[in-house]
Amino acid sequence: MPQLHDRASASQESVFSRMSRLAAQHGAVNLGQGFPPGAPPPFLLRAAQDALGRSDQYTPPAGLGALRDALGADLGVDGADITVTCGATEALNVLALSLYGPGDEVLMLEPVFDVYMPQARLAGATPVTVPMRLDPQAGWTFDLNALAAAVTPRTRALLLNSPFNPTGTVFTPDELAGIVALARRHDLWIVSDEVYDELYFGERPVSLRTLAPERTFTVGSAGKRLEATGWRVGWIAAPPGLSAGLGGVRQVTSFCAPAPLQAAVAAALPVARDSGFYDDLRAGYAARLALLAGGLRDLGATVFEPRGTYFLTALHPDWTAQTLVEAAGVAVIPGEAFYARHAAPHGLLRVAFCKSADDIHLALERLQRYGRGQS
C-alpha cells in the first residue's frame, strides 16, 4: 500500500474531540470543548433563511462583496483588505501557507492553541514556542524579553492570540507596543488571532492591526462572535493592499466559504453591532464566569480570572481531567493539551463557561459530590 503522510504531526484525535467523546461515553457535563449551548441569535437565523435560494453558488474566493464590506465597516478597514475563509482555522492555515516556508521559524506563545504548530509544519516552517508564566498569585504573565530572546535570523512571523485561549489574557497596550517594536526591529509579520475580540470582561482589547497596520494580519470568526461555531465563516484582515497576495492559496484551500452563510453574516454584523448584541453576550458570559469561578473556588480550586474568551484556567490539587470525566461526570480540558515543548503547570485545567447556567450548576454539584467521596 502507498504511505500516508502525516506532515502536520498533529494527534489523530484532538484532545477537544477526545474529551467530548469521553463526556458522551460517561454521561458527563461537557465543560471541555468551546461551543455555546444554544442556537445562534434569531436575526442571524432569519438572515440565513432569507439567503437560502438566493445566494447558493460560488462566491469569489476572497468572499462575498457584501460580507467583505460589512467586515470592513465593522473592523474599520477597507473591505478590499478582507479575505473570507471557512472559519478562523482556514484563515490561519491560509496565512501559514502564504507567510512562512521551509527554513522559517514562527514564534508563538505556549500554552498554544492546537492548530498553530501543525499548520506551521504543514507550511514547512518550524514552530518555536515561548512559555507564558503562571504564578498562583499573579496569574498568567507574558515576558517580552523571553519572546525577543527567541528571535533568530530565521524568524519570519509572530503568531499571537488576544484574548488568549486558554489563559484568558488580554494583552495591554504597553505589551502590544513592545510586541510591535520587536516585530519592526526584526521585520516580522504579525498574525493576530482575535477570534474572541468581542468576548472580554474589562477594557476592550486593542487590536494589533491598529498599532502595526503595515505588517499585521488579523484573524476573526463569525462562529465565536455570533455563536455559530459550525457555520465556518471566518476572515483575515490583511495589511492594506496585501489581500490579493493571499488569493492564490485561498483559492485552493476551500475556494470559498458557504455562500448563504456568508450572506447571512453580512446582514447580521451591523445588526449585532447596533442592537447591543455583543454587550448582552458579554453580560451573559460574565454572569456564567462568576458562577463557575465562584463555585470552583468554593471547592478549593485556584482560578485564574480571564480578561477575555469563554474559558477559565484553574488548578486543583486533587483533580485531573481524566479522573473528572470518568469519576465526577464533568469534562474539562487538561492543561497539557496546550503544551508541546514546555511542561504544563502541574494540574492545570481549562474549563469552558460558554455553557448553560444549568450545566454549570450541575457540574459544580457533581464536583462537590466527587470531592466528598474523596475525603
- Nearest residue (CB) to ligand PMP, 33 versus 243: 33
From 294, 367, 374, 291, select the one nearest 329 (Cα to Cα). Answer: 367
Which of 98, 119, 161, 167 touches ligand PMP by CB under 6 A? 161
Task: Find out whether 353 and 289 touch, Cβ atoms under 8 Å.
Answer: yes
Cβ at position 153, least distance to ligand PMP in Å: 28
- For residues 305 and 315, what is the distance between their CA atoms, to the nearest angstrom? 12
Is residue 229 a contact residue for ligand PMP (CB under 6 A)? yes
28-67 positions binding ligand PMP, by CB under 6 A: 34
Cβ at position 53, least distance to ligand PMP in Å: 26
Residues in the chain, overall count: 375
Which of 221, 243, 262, 313 touches ligand PMP by CB under 6 A? 221
Is residue 131 a contact residue for ligand PMP (CB under 6 A)? no
Chain centre distance of CA 119: 14
The contact pattern for ligand PMP, residues 330-369, with x = CB under 6 A and - = no contact, is ----------------------------------------
- Nearest residue (CB) to ligand PMP, 32 versus 34: 34
Which of 223, 239, 295, 345 touches ligand PMP by CB under 6 A? 223
Which of 30, 93, 162, 165 touches ligand PMP by CB under 6 A? 165
Determine phi and psi for 200, rounding to 5 degrees: -140, 160
- Nearest residue (CB) to ligand PMP, 88 versus 125: 88
- Nearest residue (CB) to ligand PMP, 215 versus 225: 225
- Nearest residue (CB) to ligand PMP, 41 versus 295: 41
83-122 positions binding ligand PMP, by CB under 6 A: 87-89, 113
DSSP annotation string for 18-77: HHHHHHHHHT-EE-SS---SSPPPHHHHHHHHHHTTTS-SPPPTT--HHHHHHHHHHHTS
Is residue 195 a contact residue for ligand PMP (CB under 6 A)? yes
Q: Residue holding cell 516556508?
A: 101
Please give the single-letter amino acid code of residue 317: P
Helix ranges, 160-312 (H) = 173-186, 208-211, 222-225, 247-253, 259-274, 277-298
Task: Find out whether 163 and 308 touch, Cβ atoms under 8 Å.
Answer: yes
Cβ at position 166, least distance to ligand PMP in Å: 8
- Nearest residue (CB) to ligand PMP, 155 versus 221: 221
- For residues 253 and 89, what is the distance between their CA atoms, to the nearest angstrom? 11
From 168, 160, 166, select the one nearest 337 (Cα to Cα). Answer: 166
Cβ at position 294, least distance to ligand PMP in Å: 24
Enumerate binding residues for ligand PMP (CB under 6 A).
34, 87-89, 113, 161, 165, 193, 195, 221, 223, 229, 234
